[in-house]
Amino acid sequence: MKVAICGVGATGTRLARQLVSSPAVEQVELRDERHDHLAAVVASLGPRARIADVPLDAPTDADVVVLAADAGLHLGAARRFLGAGVAVVSVGDDLGEAQGLLELDAEARERGVPVVVGAGFGPGLTCVLAAHAAARFDEVHEIHVAKVGTGGPACARQHHRALARSATDWRGSWVRRPGGSGRELCWFPDPIGGQDCYRAELADPALLVPAFPGVQRVTARVGATRRDRLTARLPMLWPTHPEGGPGAVRVEVRGRRGGASDVVVLGAMDRPAVAAGAVAALAVLWIGDGRIGAGAGGLAGRVDPVDFLTALRSRGVRAAAFQGSAVAEPA
């Protein structure tokens, strides 16, 4: 199998390392506008990696294309690759792009091509955790997602923009809420612990609602400091870490099991770029194996969550379950 990666930042680099170590991958083609950086990455990956000195959305002979570039490029590139019959995996978390990618479902099914939307830490791992938790219920009523941490500069910029934009929650219909509102103390796996999280323009609800017909509420929040919230509508005023720091995701699912209401909380702690690279790599390999079929959608309705999480565990990404008493419902 040949794979092309468009965008070789923190996540794209981790993804490339995962793929060149897989026997199923014959060649990894890397595309990025930063030529010196690209050359250094390719030199570190060995003979299976090669530079493609072409625009990010230029035609390719790859079997799967992974879009790991900045927000704003995914939808147009996905349309071009889909039109050429090439499978697409998007690692982006921009809401508008996720919605646009989901609208490619009919064309993707007609062409017999898989398009995986949101194959990162969150969305991505969050979708798989939601599917795993939901399997324990007879009826799923609510899904609440929270995440903290960023994978690198591009991810940090998207996090910054998301806090300044309106959140889109699901309450039987789509409801818009101000970004930076709705503070909630969310507990993540150690050593992250408790973090204040706020509404933001996040893609998770757009991917989860189609995967869980009948769900009544779906929300998403992101960890933020007071400074993050106060400066969200300004240009970024400080440099970001090239690799990002430790982060975590948390998924709370509420529903009915038997005759009683119940709550399941799952989470994971890792460097977001590392975890996102592992999730995207696994999505690519599952497309190659025929385990992800044609159509456009998130991972929640497209993979077996137990098998996917087991495979992620072998790559060092481990999920955890919260043990404790149920608390008040999120607002």
3-state class (DSSP) for residue 315: coil
The CATH number of whichever domain residue 22 belongs to comes to 3.40.50.720
For residue 60, CA distances in Å to 94, 105, 176, 297 come to: 25, 22, 39, 23
Number of other residues whose CB lies within 10 A of the CB of residue 190: 9
Cβ burial 265-299 (10 Å sphere, 16+ → b, else e): bbbbbbbbbbbbbbbbbbbbbbbbeebbeebbbbb
Task: Tell me which of 272, 288, 322 is where a domain ends.
Answer: 272
Number of domains in the chain: 2
Q: Are 88 and 219 part of one and the same domain?
A: no
The CATH number of whichever domain residue 237 belongs to comes to 3.30.360.10
> What is the helix (H) or strand (E) element at residue 227, kind and residue range?
helix 226-230
Q: Are 177 and 64 part of one and the same domain?
A: no
Question: How far apart, in whole angstroms, are the C-alpha atoms of residue 221 and residue 219?
Answer: 7
Cα dihedral 159, 163, 168, 170, rounded to 10, equals 80
Domain span including residue 81: 2-121+275-307
Question: How far apart, in whole angstroms, are the C-alpha atoms of residue 40 and residue 202?
Answer: 33
Is residue 287 one of the residues assigned to a domain? yes
Q: Are 158 and 197 part of one and the same domain?
A: yes
- Do 127 and 205 form a contact (C-beta atoms < 8 A)? no
pLDDT value at residue 231: 73
Q: What is the DSSP string of 104-137?
A: THHHHHHHT-EEE---BTTTBHHHHHHHHHHTT-
Q: Are 172 and 60 part of one and the same domain?
A: no
For residue 24, CA distances in Å to 7, 28, 82, 328 come to: 22, 11, 22, 47
Q: Are 266 and 283 part of one and the same domain?
A: no
Q: Are 146 and 252 part of one and the same domain?
A: yes
- Do 170 and 218 form a contact (C-beta atoms < 8 A)? yes
- The position carrying tokens 């989901």 is 102
Q: Are 231 and 154 part of one and the same domain?
A: yes
Q: Are 103 and 184 part of one and the same domain?
A: no
Residues 6+ apart with CB under 8 A from 181: 167, 198, 199
Q: Are 245 and 153 part of one and the same domain?
A: yes
Question: How far apart, in whole angstroms, are the C-alpha atoms of residue 114 and residue 111?
Answer: 9
Q: What is the pLDDT along the chain (331 residues), one digit of tens a residue?
A: 999 999 999 999 999 999 999 999 999 999 999 989 999 999 999 999 999 999 999 999 999 999 999 888 999 999 999 999 999 999 989 999 999 999 999 999 999 999 999 999 999 999 999 999 999 999 999 999 999 988 777 777 787 788 888 999 999 999 999 998 999 999 999 999 999 999 999 999 999 999 999 999 999 999 987 777 777 777 766 666 666 679 999 999 999 999 899 999 999 999 999 999 999 999 999 999 999 999 999 999 999 999 999 999 999 999 999 876 554 556 6
> What is the helix (H) or strand (E) element at residue 162, kind and residue range?
helix 153-164
Query: Any idea what DSSP says for residue 246?
Result: -
Is residue 159 one of the residues assigned to a domain? yes
Q: Are 153 and 262 part of one and the same domain?
A: yes
Q: Are 116 and 205 part of one and the same domain?
A: no
Is residue 327 one of the residues assigned to a domain? no
- Do 144 and 212 form a contact (C-beta atoms < 8 A)? no
pLDDT value at residue 239: 63
Is residue 316 one of the residues assigned to a domain? no
